[in-house]
Amino acid sequence: MTDSEKFSKCPCTGKTLAKIVQPAVLAVLAEQPLHGYLIVQRLSEMMMFRGECPDPAGVYRVLRSMDRRGLVTSSWDLGKTGPAKRRFTLTPSGRACLKQWAQTLEHYARSIEDLLAMIREISREPHAAN
């Protein structure tokens, strides 16, 4: 088994960054209100998901949590054709939360750059003999 295969489901791939789903959903909804299915589709277009659809059940859990916290509102869209769809809209509190996420993510980005620099430096050093 190659390292790539061994680590394909490991958190080190970055595919399980569950905390990052919330600001991604907030960012998508900041552009326009959307139905849940379209939110999942928009998320799959983001670089962080590498062209793969995130788990829809997980996205809906995040949406329900954000609805309970007042970050989004939802309403039924009773279109003329097809089943009713729940439409999600960002609230002013959701916009404020997204602004806070931007600051937090900026800090994460700087912290990750520092960590990467450390890892690169360690990788260049000759291994110590045991």
Domain ranges of the chain: 13-124
pTM: 0.78
Return d(Cα 114, Cα 109) in angstroms, integer.
Answer: 9
Confidence of residue 44 (pLDDT cuts 50, 70, 90): very high
pLDDT for 17 beyond 80: no
Per the listing, tokens 């959903």 go with 25
Pairwise CA distance, residues 30 & 48, whole Å: 18
Asked if CATH classification 1.10.10.10 holds for the domain at 13-124, the reply, yes or no, is: yes
In 3-state terms, the chain is what percent helix, strand and coil (to 5)?
A: 60, 10, 30
Segment 56-90, tens digit of pLDDT: 998 999 999 999 999 999 999 887 777 888 999 99
Q: Smallest Cα–Cα separation from 96: which of 104, 87, 88?
A: 104
Write down the pLDDT at residue 32.
Answer: 97
pLDDT band (50, 70, 90) for residue 125: confident
Residues 6+ apart with CB under 8 A from 65: none
Q: Strands of 85-90's sheet, edge to edge? A: 34-35, 85-90, 72-77
